[in-house]
Amino acid sequence: MDQQTATFEFLCRMGDNTLVLGHRVSEWCGKAPVLEEDIALANVALDLIGQTQMWLGLAAEVEGAGRTADDLAMLRDVWDFRSALLVEQPNGDFGQTLMRQYLFDQWHVAVLTALMESADPRVADIAAKSVKEARYHVERSADLVIRLGDGTEESHGRMQAALDKLWPFFGELFDDDPVDAAMAEAGIAPLPSGLRADVDQEVAAVMAQATLVIPADRFAHRGGKTGIRHSEHLGHMLTQMQWLQRAYPGATW
């Protein structure tokens, strides 16, 4: 795999993760349990979409095919996306949304912190801008996971169910493949596997405070970040997200 292709793939992974999760979180707008959470989730979604603009904008620049960030977001099909399976999962109840957000946030802070030392100054610059938001996101999501996990019998049960359901999707974020190897060799990004121990330690500390039990099984669903296998949920989400641009190609306002 040549360096240009590997870099493009890596940038799409970063941008697709924030794009898909940003859209998922935005689905709570007007529907969250309380007004404060409605506003907070909308702001998190906006942060993630803003990061998407930077990652996919750079991906389009690296590709050099005349496409834009909007083209990559709105005109690719499911099999061209490189989002991890975790972020594609439906919102479910509020507990599932929070657990999905926390697991992603904890990984996200770790990878962005490492990317600030990237040999590519453009990647380092995006990471430095994004990590400030990501640190707020993980502080907020961890606090809510703890409060609900160590809350009532009902909230505890829902948070444990959410952890059990989403844990099998967490491991994919730390898989190494040829794209990751090329990025690490070039000094652009760390190997995902090298982040696992520190992230696991942070997750374990939060789950202990939340009185939640991390599943012992380390099995992980895979295929999203490589595009080999996506969940059925991504196709349904893209149908909603892309329909206007598909129905009216080139429409602007």
Q: Tell me, what's the pLDDT at 34?
A: 85
Check residue 127 and give its pLDDT: 98
Residue 253 lies in a domain: no
Structure confidence by residue, pLDDT tens digits, 222-253: 999 999 999 999 999 999 999 888 888 887 77
Contact 109, 134 (CB under 8 A): yes
Q: Is the CB of residue 52 less than 8 Å from the CB of residue 197?
A: no
Give the CATH number, domain containing residue 7: 1.20.1260.10
- Looking at the structure of the chain, the number of domains it has is 1
Residues 172-212 pLDDT 10s: 999 999 999 999 999 999 999 999 999 999 999 999 999 99
What is the structure's pLDDT at 138? Answer: 98
In a domain, 80, yes or no: yes
**For the chain, where are the alpha helices, taking DSSP H only?**
3-26, 35-63, 69-74, 85-88, 94-115, 121-149, 153-170, 178-185, 196-209, 232-247
pLDDT band per the 50, 70, 90 thresholds, residue 32: confident
* pLDDT for the residue numbered 251: 79
Q: What is the pLDDT of residue 218?
A: 85
In a domain, 89, yes or no: yes
Residue 56 is part of which domain span? 3-247
Residue 120 within any structural domain of the chain: yes
Query: Do the domain assignments include residue 50?
Result: yes
Q: Would 252 be classed as within a structural domain?
A: no
Segment 69-88 shows an average pLDDT of 96
According to DSSP, residue 215 is labeled: P
Tens digits of residue pLDDT in 95-148: 999 999 999 999 999 999 999 999 999 999 999 999 999 999 999 999 999 999
Residue 151 is predicted with a pLDDT of 96
User: In whole angstroms, what is the distance from residue 155 CA to residue 160 CA?
Assistant: 9
Output the pLDDT for position 252. Answer: 77
**What pLDDT is stored for residue 39 in this prediction?**
94
Report the pLDDT averaged over residues 138-166: 98
Q: Which residues contact 78 (CB under 8 A, 6 or more apart)?
A: 230, 234, 235, 238
Binned at pLDDT 50, 70 and 90, residue 73 comes out as very high
Helix (H) or strand (E) holding 175: none
Residue 163 confidence (pLDDT): 98
